[in-house]
Every structure is written in C-alpha cells, then in structure tokens.
Amino acid sequence: MATKKKTTTASSSKSTKASKSKATKTTKKGKQTASKKSSTQKKKQTTATKKQQASKTPKTTQKSSSKKTATQKKATKSSKSTTATKKTQKPLRYSDKELEMFRKHIEKIRAQTLEEFHMLKERLEDMNSDEMVPETAAYSVHMAEEGTNAQEKEKLFTQLQRLSDYLKKLDEALERIKNKTYGICRVCGILIAKERLLAVPITTLSASYKIHKKCPPDGIDRIHPPEELEEQK
C-alpha cells in the first residue's frame, strides 16, 4: 500500500511538472507570437507611412509641375499677344497719298530754287568776265565802284552756297519720302505737323521740340501748345 501511494504521488508530481512545463512553453510561445504580431504590425505601419509619404510626394511634384506648366502657358500667351499686337500696329508714318502730296510740293520748291541758283550763278560769271578787260580800261574804273563789285560778288557767292545746301537738303527730303520715313521727328519719333512740313519741307524736327524744346506727352505735334490755344479762345 505504501508503495502504491509513493508511486501515485510520484506520478502526480511528474504530471504536475509536465503540465507546468507545458504551460511555460505555451506562455513562451504566446509571448513570441505576440512579439511577432507586434513587429509585423510595426512593419505594416512603417510600410503604410512610407506609402503615404510616397503618395504625397508625387502630388506635391505634380502641383509644382502643373504650376510651372500654367506659368509657361501664360508666358506663351502673353508673348503671342504681344507679337499679335506688334503685327496689328501699323508703323508711324504718313500715308502714301500724303507722301505724294509732299513730294510734289518739294519738287516744285526745288525747281524754283534751282532756277534761282542758275540765275545767280550766271550773274556771278558775268561779273567775273567783266573783270577780264584790258589794263588800259581798268585804270578808268573808279575805286569806289571796284569795292562795290567785290561786295556784290561776295554776296552772290554766299547766296549760291546757301541755295546749294538747300538743294541738297531738298534731295534728302525726297529720299526720305521714297523710304516712307519723311515727316517723322528724329528726336520725339512723332509725326511732324503738316503745316510745319509745308512751311519748312526740309525739317526733321517737330514744332513742339524746335520751339518748346520738349516732346508732346500725347504724341501730337502742335505749333501752338494746347494752353496757348485756350488762352487765345
């Protein structure tokens, strides 16, 4: 009987130890499983965070690229509109009909000037030929008359020089008409008033700049400024 009790006690203690070891092993396995699950969850969270960051980054890049594209489109449109405006804007000049009118006016003045030039030149040549007389006759010429002739010749020469310069400027004006640049102020870049061109056909300065030494703010050449016209009224 004692032997049976010992055997039973030994077996029960063995079973108890076995159950304890199993429980310990199960607990360890549970802990390992839990740690594995937590690590797996952490990995999943890290992966999800990376994906979110990756998904956000392209959006930012897309936004910036879309903004750049929009800016480029606007710049292209503005450049196109500027080019179109330049194409539609006509160059500042007088019309062909007006230039033809100025050409006829200048050619008429040129013909009159050329006629006067030839007349004065012939007169000067006649005076020079009168000086080519025999020495015996030369002594009979009065000294005062000689002085008068010298002054007259000098005056004729000055007039001829002035007319020659004027003819050159008239030819330059005709060349500008040919190039369709006649009547544009070389300082202000505006159209010179017609009445000034008719009075001074060789001019290259507007009345506003010639008289008042300044360009009109509205781009219209006037012999009399607006304030003077109002005072006259």
Same domain (yes/no): 161, 187? no
Same domain (yes/no): 137, 153? yes
Q: Is the distance from CB of 183 to CB of 197 less than 8 angstroms?
A: yes
Confidence category of residue 201, pLDDT binned at 50, 70, 90: very high
Long-range CB contact pairs, 3-11, < 8 A, 24+: none
Quick check: is 82 in a domain?
no
Quick check: is 15 in a domain?
no
**End-of-domain residue from the set 163, 181, 199:** 181
Distance (Å, rounded) from C-alpha 53 to C-alpha 60? 11
Same domain (yes/no): 153, 176? yes
Based on the structure, what is the number of domains in the chain? 2
Q: What pLDDT does 223 receive?
A: 84
Same domain (yes/no): 171, 189? no
Same domain (yes/no): 208, 232? yes
Quick check: is 12 in a domain?
no
Quick check: is 2 in a domain?
no
| Region 149-162 average pLDDT | 92
Q: What pLDDT does 7 receive?
A: 46
Q: Is the distance from CB of 153 to CB of 129 less than 8 angstroms?
A: no
Residue 107 above 50 pLDDT?
yes
Quick check: is 33 in a domain?
no
Residue 102: Cβ within 10 Å count:
20
Same domain (yes/no): 108, 133? yes
Same domain (yes/no): 194, 212? yes
Quick check: is 103 in a domain?
yes
Quick check: is 109 in a domain?
yes
Residue 153 above 70 pLDDT?
yes
Same domain (yes/no): 154, 98? yes
Quick check: is 13 in a domain?
no
The pLDDT tens digits for 124-137 are 998 888 666 555 44
Q: Is the distance from CB of 185 to CB of 149 less than 8 angstroms?
A: no
Residue 27 above 70 pLDDT?
no
Same domain (yes/no): 145, 218? no
Same domain (yes/no): 174, 200? no
Of 229, 179, 169, 230, residue with least CA distance to 205: 169
**End-of-domain residue from the set 164, 181, 198:** 181
Same domain (yes/no): 139, 211? no
- What phi, psi does 82 have (nearest 5°)? -65, -45
Which structure tokens are listed for 180? 């369709």
**End-of-domain residue from the set 181, 205, 225:** 181
Residue 226 lies in domain:
183-233
Q: Is the distance from CB of 185 to CB of 221 less than 8 angstroms?
A: yes
Q: Structure pTM?
A: 0.56
Same domain (yes/no): 205, 225? yes
